Structure 1
Amino acid sequence: MWKIHIWKGPQRMLMMMKRYTRVGGAGVLLALGILLLYVIFWCSRKEPQPLQRLSYRPELFDIVKESIFTGFNNETGSKNGEYIIPNIIHFLFFGESRISYVAAVCVLAAFKNQHPEKILVHTDVDSFRGPHWEKLKNTPNLTIEVHKIQMPNEIFGQKINHVWHAGDVTRIKILMDYGGIFLDNDSYLVRSLDCFRKYEMALGLDENGYIGTQVLVAHKEARFLRLWLETYREYYPDLWYFNAGQKPALEILWHKPELVHSVRTLFGVHDLSQELYRQYNWKEWRNYHTIHLLIRHRHYLDSWWNFYWWPELNEINIHDYPMTFGQMARDVYDFK
C-alpha cells in the first residue's frame, strides 16, 4: 500500500517552496535545489520487488505423505462432485466484546447467501454485547454458536507479538479442528461457496500469487493446513504478512500448487476499495463469491471527502450512503 502515500512528499516540498520563495531570490534557488534533490531521490528509488520463491525442502512435505488426500485432484474435486467440506462458517473475534456494524453485515451475508448449518463464532471474551449482537441473535433461523478459545501467545516456542498474527495461526487450527469455511470479520460472502466444498481446500491468491487469508474453504485433513502451520517454525514477528500469506505461498504452493484449488479473482482478496467506497454503482460486485471489504484500511484508502462525510458506516447512515458498499450492506442487514 506504500504507493498510496507517494504524493505526500511532493505536497510537503511545495509547501516548503512557498515558504522559501517569500525571502527572495536565494530562497527560490534553495527551494529549487531541494525539489531537484527530491526528484533525483524518487527517480533512483527502486520499487519493492516480489519475493523470490523459497528453496524446495522435501523434508517439509514428508509430514503429509500418508494422507487421505494423497493423489486427490484439486482441479476436478471429489468424485461425482459430492461435498467433502462441512457447511459450517467460522468467524474469529479476539478482544472484541462488541460486534461492529460491518462485522454483523458480514455474518448476515454469510447466513443469507451460504445457508450454513451453523455459524461458529470463536472468541476469547466472556460474552458479546451491543445492538448488532442482538440483531444476530434475533435473526430467524440463524444458528450461531459462541466457542470460547484462548488467544495464543506463542507458536513453536516463539513469542507471537501481535493479535493479528495470533489470528493467522488460530484460523489454521480452527480449520484443522472442524473444517468448513473461515471468513475474516470484514469478508462479505456474495454467493454460495458450495462449488468449492468438493475440493480438499480452496483459497484466494492475489496478483503476486500470495495467499489471501480472508477466505479459506478446507477439509480438516487438508494437507496444506498441516504444512502451513509447519512453516511457522520460522516465525518472523516483524514482517506483517510474511508468515500468513507470503511464506506458505513461496515455500509450499510455488512448488506444489496441486495441494489446493486456487482462486485468482473471485474471492476478492485484492484491493477493491476504489469500487466499494468511491463508486456509486459498481454492479460487478455480484459476480464475486466473496469480497474483502478492507474496512480497517478505509481511513486512508477512501477519499478525504467521503471519509469526512462518512467517517463511520453504521445502520443509520448506511441508508443514505450512495457508494457500492451501501447497496451491499442494505442487501443483508435488513434481511428477514
Structure 2
Amino acid sequence: MLIGDVARRSGVSARMLRHYDTLGLVRPTGRTDAGYREYSSEDIRRIFHIESLRSLGLSLREVGRALDDPGFTPAELVDDLIRQTRERIAAETELLTRLRRIGAAEPAGWEDVLQIVALLQALGSKSAGKRQHAALSSVEEVPVPVEALVEAALSETDPNVAGALRWALAQLGDSGLALLAEGLGSRSAEVRKRAVQSIAEIPSDEATALLRDAFANPDIVVRRYAALALGARGVADAVPTLIDMVVEGTNDVDAADALSALASRPTLADQIATRLVDRLAHSTVESSARRRLTQALADIPGITASRALADLSHDEDRGVALTATYILGLRNAR
C-alpha cells in the first residue's frame, strides 16, 4: 500500500509517516519500481500501535522503546504518565478557575483584566506583604472576585494578611456568605475557624443568622467564635458559652468584653451578674478562673454586680479579694 493510501486509511498524515520513517519507528517494507514507499499489512498494524501508545501521552522516543525493547516493562512509565496527567489536569483546572474569576469580575477592558490577574497572582504570592497589599487593594481598585477572596481567607495563615482579607470580605457585604458557610462544613478545623472569623466581620442580619447556625456547630472552636460575635451583636443565647470561656481562659478577655456589651441592656445586666456569681461559688472552679470571673464583673453594671464585688473583696482567696477591691474602687470613682 502506498503512503497516500496509508495516510487516508490510518488518519496519519503522509508527512508524519515520513517522520516515522526518519526516526526508524515504521520503515516501509518495500519500495515500488518508481521508488515510492510501500507499506505491508504488518507496517500498518505497527502504525496503529504507535498511534495507540501516543494517545496515552507517550513521546515518540518512548513509543519506539515500548515497541522494540523486549525487556521494556510499562508499569513505571504508566505511573509516570498518571503523575504527569494529574499535574496537567491540576494546571488546567487552575487556569479554568482563574478565567472564571476574571469573567465574574466583568472587566470593562484589557487594562481591567491585567489588574485582576496581577491581584490574583499577588493573593497567591509567597510574600505576606504582597498578599496583604492585594487584599487591601481588592476593594479600592478593580474588584477581585469574591470567590478568590474567600478562598484566600480560608487558607491564609499569616494573622495580618488574614485580617486584611476579612476586612475586604466585609466591604463586599453578604456576597461571600454562601461560600463562607461552606467553609464551616470543611473537614479542616483551621478552615472552619477562619470561616466563622470571616463571617463575624460582616455586619448584616444574614451574617447574624449564619452565626446562629455556627453556634450549634459540633466544633467547639467554631461555637466559641460564634458566641463572641453573637454576644457583640446582643444575642443573649451566647451568655453561657461566654462565661464558660472566661472560666476556661479561652479568649477570656474577648468573652468578658462580649458579656459587657450584652450587659448594656438593662434586662440582661443582673442576669449575667447572677450567672457569674453562681460560677464563682462553684467548688470546682480553680483560683485563676475565679479571678477571671471577678474581672468579668468589672464592666457589668447594676446592683447585683456591685454587691457581688463587695462580698468578693473579703474572699478567702487573696487574689480574688484584691481584684474585687480594685474594681470596686474604680466603680466608686466613676
Same fold (TM over 0.5): no
Which structure has the larger Rg? 2
For CA contacts below 8 A with separation 6 or more, give which structure has more relative contact order: 1
Q: TM-score, normalised by structure 1?
A: 0.23
Q: TM-score, normalised by structure 2?
A: 0.23
